[in-house]
């Protein structure tokens, strides 16, 4: 089944609890939401919400919130959906977690099974940041693991949380 994308350069997907598909679009740093029909076609719920960041590469759900890893500027954007599937940013600036000197090149995200923690893999710096997910979708850094091989040296890409 082939469906046109609501935004340019669809790159990452995840699903909400109602089965709607969220798609990160890398060209303009946007996310769109779709309803997946029984026949496999997609119905656009919301077109391309911009986050004001650069190059979202991953989307990860943690409870009622979604997080996008923005590789281009090393930030994490937070999103929430309403009952109809419309998206909103968790704050005005589109940054749930700002970059730090130790954490550059957010390339992947993973949430724990209990959805209380989010981990961001930073491929350029060879680090992993851990965040506590707040009730309002805010992220509070709880630690940074250093000393991992950077992407250019090992091809390190991918993270899982339990």
pLDDT in tens, 20-57: 999 999 888 889 999 999 998 999 998 988 888 887 77
Asked whether the predicted pLDDT for residue 153 surpasses 70, the reply is: no
pTM recorded for the entire structure: 0.87
Give whole-number Cα distances, 150 to 40, 102, 109, 111, 124, in Å: 39, 12, 16, 21, 5
Per-state percent for the chain, helix, strand, coil, to nearest 5: 0, 50, 50
Q: Report the pLDDT averaged over residues 5-9.
A: 84
Within 10 angstroms of residue 130's Cβ, the number of other Cβ atoms is 17
Mean pLDDT over each residue of the chain, to the nearest integer: 87
pLDDT at position 2: 82
Burial class for 19, CB neighbours closer than 10 Å (0-12, 13-18, 19+) = exposed
Asked whether the predicted pLDDT for residue 149 surpasses 70, the reply is: yes
């Amino acid at each position: 089944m082939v469906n046109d994308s609501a935004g340019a350069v669809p790159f990452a997907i995840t699903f909400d609890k109602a089965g709607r598909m969220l798609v990160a679009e890398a060209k303009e740093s946007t996310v769109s939401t779709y309803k997946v029909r029984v026949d496999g076609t997609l119905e656009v719920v919301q077109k391309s919400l911009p986050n004001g960041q650069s190059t979202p590469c991953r989307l990860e759900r943690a409870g009622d919130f979604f997080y996008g890893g923005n590789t281009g500027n090393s930030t994490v954007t937070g999103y929430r959906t309403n009952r109809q599937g419309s998206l909103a940013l968790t704050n005005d600036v589109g940054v749930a977690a700002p970059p730090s000197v130790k954490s550059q090149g957010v390339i992947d995200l993973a949430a724990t099974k209990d959805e209380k923690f989010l981990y961001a893999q930073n491929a350029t710096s060879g680090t992993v940041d851990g965040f506590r997910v707040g009730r309002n979708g805010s992220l509070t850094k709880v630690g940074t693991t250093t000393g991992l091989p950077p992407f250019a040296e090992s091809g390190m890409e991918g993270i899982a949380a339990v």
